[in-house]
Homo-oligomer: A and B are copies of this chain.
Amino acid sequence: MNHEDFLEAYLKDRQKIVEEALERYLPDEDSVPEELHTAAHYSVFAGGKRIRPILCLAAAEACGADMAPAMPAACALELIHTYSLIHDDLPAMDNDDVRRGKATSHKVFGEALAILAGDALLTEAFVLLSRVEKVRLPAERRLAVIQEIASAAGIAGMVGGQALDIRAEKIPPDAAGLTEIHRRKTGALIVASVRTGAILAGAGEAKLQALTQYADHIGMAFQIADDILNVEGDSRLMGKKTGSDAAHGKVTYPSLLGMDAAKARLAEHVEAAVAALAAFDARALPLRMIARYIMERKS
C-alpha cells in the first residue's frame, strides 16, 4: 500500500469513528425541540472532512496517548467548526446557498433556526468539554483545553477573524492583512485542535511548541490551498462553484501573490510543518501525511 492509499484509508476510518462519536454525543431527540435537533444534525452530518477532530486525535497519538480520552474534545472542535460555517453562510454574512453540495442551513430551515442551530452547537461544544466522562482525565488538563478552544474560537481567534474578513470586503487587505485574517479565522482553531490533543495526552512544553508550529503552518497551508482550489479546482469534486472568489473580487493569495508564488508558499508551509515534527517518532506519521495531503487534495 503506498502512502496515498494508506492516508485515504486512514482518513476514511477516522471520519467514521468521529461521526459515530458525534452521533453519540449530540443531545437526544427527546430532550430538544425537534426542529432544532433536525437543523443541528443536518449541518453536523453534511459531509465535513472532520479534519479538526482527526488532527486532535492524531496529535494525542503522536504524543504517545490513546485517542479515546481526546474524543469528546475532538468532537467539540467539530461542533464549533460547524457552528461557524452555519453563521458564515447566513444572508447577513457570506449569503451562501450551497455548501459541500447541499443547501445551507438557513435555506433549509430559515434564518431564525439557522442562527439558533449555530448558537446551540457552539454551546453544546462546551457541554461536551465539561461533562463528566467515564475516562478520567485530570481536571486541570480539561480546564486548559477549554481555555485553549474558547480562546481560539473567540475574539482573539475565529470570531475576530470573521470580523476582519467583513472589514476586508470594504478595505482590501495586503498580504500581511490577509495572513492575519486567516491565522485568526481558520488557523486559530486548527492550532487549538492539535494543541488540545497534545494537552490531553500530557505532552511536555517542547512537544507542545513543536506541534503548535506544525499546526500554524498547516493552518496557513490549508487556506492557501483553498484559495488555489477556488481558481483551479473541479467544482464537481468540491460540491461548490469554483471561481467565486474572483467573481466577488475577493482578495486571495493567488490574487495578491500570483498563482506560482502562492503555490510556492503553500509548499513552504507544508515543508515547515513536516520539519516541525522532526523530534517525533513514527507515531507522528499521520500528522506528516496530513500536511502533504493538504497540498495534494482535490476538494
Contact = CB atoms under 8 A, between A and B. Distances in A.
Interface of A: 27, 31-33, 35-37, 40, 83, 87, 90, 92-93, 110-113, 115-116, 118-120, 122-124, 126-127, 129-132, 138-140, 142-144, 146-147, 150-151, 153-156, 159-160, 162-164, 166-167
B87 A154 contact: no
Contacts of A142: 139, 143
A137 to B, nearest CB: 10
A76 to B, nearest CB: 10
A295 B278 CA distance: 67
4 cross-chain pairs, A with B, having the tightest CB-CB distances, nearest first: A92-B111, A139-B139, A126-B150, A130-B147
7 contacts: A32-B163, A33-B160, A93-B115, A116-B166, A119-B159, A123-B154, A131-B147
Contact of A40 (B31, B131, B155, B162): B155
A87 B119 contact: yes
- Give the residue among A93, A143, A164 with the most B Cβ atoms within 10 A: A143
- Counting every copy of the chain, the complex holds 2
A83 B119 CA distance: 10
B32 A156 contact: yes
A156 B33 CA distance: 9
Contacts of A124: 150, 154-155
A146 B142 CA distance: 11
Nearest to A146: B130
A90 B116 contact: no
B129 A146 contact: yes
Contact of A147 (B127, B138, B150): B127
A119 B116 contact: no
Contacts of A90: 115
A33 B185 CA distance: 12
A92 B110 contact: yes
Nearest to A180: B33
Nearest to A124: B154
B123 A164 contact: no
A156 to B, nearest CB: 6
Nearest to A126: B150
Nearest to A144: B130
B33 A164 contact: yes
A27 B154 CA distance: 10
A41 to B, nearest CB: 11
